[in-house]
A and B are shown apart, each in its own frame.
Chain A
Amino acid sequence: MTLRAPPLSAVHQRADASFTDFGGWEMPVEFESIRTEHEAVRSEAGKFDVSHMGQITVAGPDAATLTQRLTTNDVTVLDPGEAQYGAITDEDGIMLDDTVVYRLPDSATDEFLFIPNAGHDGEMTERWLSERDERGLDATVTNRTEEYAMIAVQGPDAPDLLAAQTDVSLAGLSRFEVANGSVAGVDSLIARTGYTGEPGFEILCPPDGAETVWGALECQPCGLGARDTLRLEMGFLLSGQEFHPVDEPRTPYEAGIGWTVKLDTEFVGRDALEGVAADGPEEKLIGIELIDRGVPRHGYDVTTPDGEPIGHITSGTMSPTLEAPIALAYVPAAYAEPGTSVRVVVRGEPKKARTRSTPFLDR
């Protein structure tokens, strides 16, 4: 299999980045060091190439109806230029993906753009097309992943950095709003969204303008390594780790994003999720912090203080900001109360830990 490469691949190679396979894409994982990049985003600003994320547009008279059918949130509340987070579930309410749905600004027709995770663009395009055809809806679904580069600029200095390069009034752009504008002269779509908990933006632009935009945002280049530690400090989900249709089948309620499920809308998975909502999920994703020394990692067992297995870690790291070992884990609801004493088994050794609410960081 050939890995897909982002438009900025050569730029990253010149910057001596190290690369990793992520969702079928060869992406930069580290430029300087994870800690350096992480700290830059928390204290100043950093830029991320997130061109591995998918872009699918849905246009036409039934664009809203179709997107409503396939996402858990209520897209009909979106005005042009607004975006929302939601889940994509199967008939059983199991998460196939999470996504941001944008209702595009200044569009002559009703047009939506949604951003599936790396490597999911083909499957999600198929999903939208088959639902459209099954229901005889009038909508054009286009996989535009190869037509867009996506660059995130995140951190307390990000608004000033971007303001110097764009004609869009960023003060007028609230969280989860999106505007058309130019960045360093490149026609772009600018969204006030991100995956770090910091102020920041995600910029969609044509691949041939990516180098100009990337170069104009003068701040620390950051790889997927820092992106992961930053999102984990915020307790944000990572597709494939906190949910996966086969390896980690979870409902939005289990994954802690029940707030994105609007049961008063009609969508695939709604009936199953109505039952989960009524009874409450049997297991919940919780934050864990280790009291003993050690680093929790994906797949490690979580037990009671007596050693009874109750769950497993989905993501874990040494938090660069808190300088403490943190993790996300699924445990039965009875153990989900913050402050519950548990153990995390690190190489056969049970380490003292306690559950806690997320985010780990106040932002």
Chain B
Amino acid sequence: MSFDVPDDLRYLESHEWVRVAGDTAEVGITAFAQDELGDVVFVELPEEGAELTAGEDFGVVESIKAVSDVYAPVSGTVTAVNDRLRDEPELLNEDPFGDGWMLKVAVTEESEIDDLLSPDAYRGQIE
């Protein structure tokens, strides 16, 4: 099976994606990740204002069968949280790169973005 890997995003080996716009990074999990997890039933996210550190876990995604930590691709301050995931965790399955976004982060270390995987590198990892 081949999974969507949008060309305008950057990726982490642990299957998070980042959409960079100026100094803001939108974060979610990839189509591959949601398929591995199966039916998502619960998402635990930090609150607005929380500080993230690149590489550290910031939340949890639970499917019927598994619990999975989610890792911060970049360091920064959380400026927005997708509250819809509270009542509609299935958005992570249905639209992982769109309505299933998790957080927006004000990036403090722009150089960290350069360390993220390119779409091609991530495609290589999940093939």
Q: Interface residue tally of chain B, by bracket?
A: 10 to 19
Judge if A294 is at the interface, Cβ distance under 8 Å: yes
A34 touches B67 (CB 8 A): no
Which residues from B are CB-within-8-Å of A317? 64
B67 touches A297 (CB 8 A): yes
Judge if A80 is at the interface, Cβ distance under 8 Å: no
Assess A30 versus B41: contact at CB under 8 Å? Given A229-B64, A295-B62, A318-B62: no
How many angstroms from the CA of A151 to the CA of B67 in the assembled complex? 30
Q: Which residue of B lies closest to A293 (CB)?
A: B42
How many angstroms from the CA of A339 to the CA of B98 in the assembled complex? 41
Which residues from A are CB-within-8-Å of B86? 293
Q: Interface residue tally of chain A, by bracket?
A: 10 to 19
Which residues from A are CB-within-8-Å of B41? 295, 318
Give, as a whole number of angstroms, the nearest-CB distance from A62 to chain B. 45
Assess A35 versus B39: contact at CB under 8 Å? Given A225-B65, A295-B67, A297-B67: yes
A34 touches B39 (CB 8 A): yes
B62 touches A30 (CB 8 A): no
How many angstroms from the CA of A293 to the CA of B42 in the assembled complex? 8
Give, as a whole number of angstroms, the nearest-CB distance from B37 to chain A. 10
Which residues from B are CB-within-8-Å of A24? none
Residue from B38, B62, B64 having most chain A Cβ neighbours under 10 A:
B64
10 more A-B residue pairs beyond the given contacts A34-B65, A318-B42, with a C-beta to C-beta distance below 8 A: A33-B39, A34-B39, A35-B39, A35-B64, A225-B38, A225-B65, A293-B42, A295-B42, A317-B64, A318-B64
Interface residues of A (CB under 8 A from B): 16, 29-30, 33-35, 225, 229, 293-295, 297, 317-318, 320, 347
The 6 closest A-B pairs by CB, nearest first: A318-B41, A35-B39, A34-B64, A295-B62, A295-B42, A225-B65
